[in-house]
Chains A and B, each alone.
Chain A
Amino acid sequence: MSAPAGSDVFMTDRTRSGHETTSPAPRVARRRRAPLPLLVPAALGFLFLVAPFVALLVRSPWGDLGSLVTSQGALQALWLSLRTATAATVVCLILGVPLAWVLARTSFPGQNLVRSIVTLPLVMPPVVGGVALLSLLGRRGLLGSLLDTAFGFTVPFTTLAVVIAETFVALPFLVLSVDGSLRSADLRYEQAAAVLGASPWYVFRRVTLPLVGPSVAAGGLLSFARALGEFGATITFAGNFPGTTQTMPLAIYLAMQDDPSTALALSLVLMAVSLAVLIGLRSRWVSGLIGVAS
């Protein structure tokens, strides 16, 4: 309950009536000029993030870019990355939204421990995640050995393994985003719906989900971005083979070993695609959902 109270302090020019809480901040508040103590570190922060990429652009082999980028290997890696990151995001949404709901709307013993465990893949080095996945699903792993003897099926070195590795590192982003939003959302809508006779499942679909729609979208976007850039868990658990498991980050890393100009060109492609996807989704999808929610 402390979060909504806190946001009221910062938005003094807003009406405090309940139905305003979830709508976007008024235009006036957004156009306010930033005070210097905020503007300077903000500008430095932006420069810190953007300067390395500018340097990358300067160093890039612009002359050969066309042929390097359209090589069969590059397109194959890009296509695989887009497919696996999309699949991982879908899995994250299917599993992550309910997980966030359970964390935010129910209470059970050890809930904070569960919440911490959910964020563990976020802080662990991804390579450790890859080793952990191998321990579970590898040919000699806890589950993997059963799969192997029962069905003769092994997970490592398949495209499925790439999706699993990407989901493993991306899921916490979605859960954190949706969990935070659910916990700060106004409970009165859900209570009103329940009082009016709606079933919990109906309340979740028709009230809760639209209410936190923007953060589901934002969380999905973060998960997609994280999955697209995944390297450590993928190369450890899924291996590296062109067309099957070699995603863009792997292709870039390996090109860096003996052909840095190709690696730079591939990096540019990944940057451009990521930026296009992030901008595109943010403007269309997120704003669309905000429109639905308000």
Chain B
Amino acid sequence: MSRRAPVALVAALALVGCSSSGANDAGASLSASPPAATTTPAAPAISGDLTVFAAASLTDTFAEIGDQMMAANPDLTITFNFGSSGTLAEQLLADAPADVFASASAKTMTTAAEVVGEPALFAHNSLVIVVPKGNPREVTGLSDFANPDLKIALCDPSVPCGAAAQTVFANAGITAMPDTLGPDVRATATYVTSGEVDAALVYKTDAIAAGSAVETLTFPEAAGVVNDYPIAVVQGTRNADAAQAFVDHVLSPAGQTVLTDAGFDPT
């Protein structure tokens, strides 16, 4: 028993190592040759498991796009891992098992560049001002963010929505006086929903997702600052057909409709 256990462990580790890192050479040739003879190349049947790593701001839209795909392909199971783009990029670099990566900024996609294929832009997002329902402190525009008497939330500059906010304030020549810097855009929006702050800068999509608990104000200074959303197939994917199909679906009219309905600007 005790002597065999390490052998089994080594074998198991070797198997895991093959399936994750060796997918491009040995694994790919194994899976590619037999199905190529049976399936029609025009409409490959998409099946199996697909894991999509996507930015937190895509939570609702990608879930809907995933449901559309799974409805059309009953043998396909899509699992999402939503999180901050930076965290997801780090996980990908550490060989996390993923097939598709959709991030909320070109910068985080560049971080993951060595483990993903050629990225494609699929959406843009712009910033809006959100205030609690009823706008109790009568916020009217970006200049109110310089008022130290107001409770203000922005995203932390280390995450895409915070970097965009920094650019907006720099362009407008306004020194913002935030009380807190949210770790991601959803957390920042939540402070407005719960009434803890008087105003925040978040993406248009998150303002819409926050529903009737908030009011949205657009401001002219937002026009020049949009966030690009790139999507790419992860190089180590074990389900390349499904991964590419997912990317194609996001870029298709059906996928784009889901995104624009949620407040994203089309590409």
Contact = CB atoms under 8 A, between A and B. Distances in A.
A155 to B, nearest CB: 10
A134 interface: yes
Interface string B98-126: 00000000011001000000000000000
Contacts of A154: 151
Interface in B159-201: 159, 178-183, 187, 191, 194-196
A99 to B, nearest CB: 30
Interface in A253-275: 253-260
Interface string B145-159: 000000101001011
B90 A256 contact: yes
Contacts of B156: 240, 254, 257
A139 B195 contact: yes
Contacts of A156: 180, 196
B179 A157 contact: yes
A245 interface: yes
* Interface of chain A, main secondary structure: loop
B255 interface: no
Contact of B86 (A134, A157, A257): A257
B213 to A, nearest CB: 11
Given A157-B151, A240-B182, A241-B179, A140 B196 contact: yes
A74 to B, nearest CB: 14
A255 B87 CA distance: 10
Given A258-B86, A258-B158, A259-B158, A253 B196 contact: no
Nearest to A157: B179
Contacts of A245: 180
Contacts of B182: 239-240
A138 interface: yes
Contacts of A250: 183
Interface in A225-248: 235, 239-241, 245-246
B61 interface: no
B57 interface: no
Contacts, number: 63
B84 interface: yes
B158 A254 contact: yes
Given A154-B151, A256-B90, A257-B84, A241 B178 contact: yes
A257 B158 contact: yes
Contacts of B111: 258
Contacts of A240: 156, 180-183
Contacts of B84: 257
Contacts of B187: 235
Contacts of A157: 151, 179-180, 196
Given A157-B151, A256-B86, A138 B158 contact: no
A140 B180 CA distance: 17
Given A157-B151, A239-B180, A256-B87, A140 B195 contact: yes
Contacts of A235: 183, 187
Interface in A82-131: none
Given A256-B86, A257-B156, A139 B179 contact: no
Contacts of B178: 241
A246 B182 CA distance: 11
A138 B196 contact: yes
Contacts of A134: 194, 196
Interface string A198-222: 0000000000000000000000000
Nearest to B85: A257
A79 B252 CA distance: 52
B194 A258 contact: no
Contact of A253 (B107, B151, B183): B183
B179 A258 contact: no
A58 to B, nearest CB: 14
Contacts of A255: 158
A239 B156 CA distance: 11
B239 to A, nearest CB: 28
Interface of B: 84, 86-87, 90, 107-108, 111, 151, 153, 156, 158-159, 178-183, 187, 191, 194-196
5 contacts: A157-B196, A246-B181, A257-B156, A258-B107, A258-B159
Interface of A: 134, 138-140, 154, 156-157, 235, 239-241, 245-246, 250, 253-260
Given A241-B180, A245-B180, A258-B107, 11 more contacts: A138-B195, A157-B151, A239-B181, A240-B180, A240-B183, A246-B181, A254-B156, A257-B158, A258-B111, A258-B158, A260-B90
Interchain residue pairs A-B with the least CB separation, the first 9? A239-B180, A257-B86, A257-B158, A157-B179, A258-B158, A140-B195, A254-B158, A157-B180, A240-B181
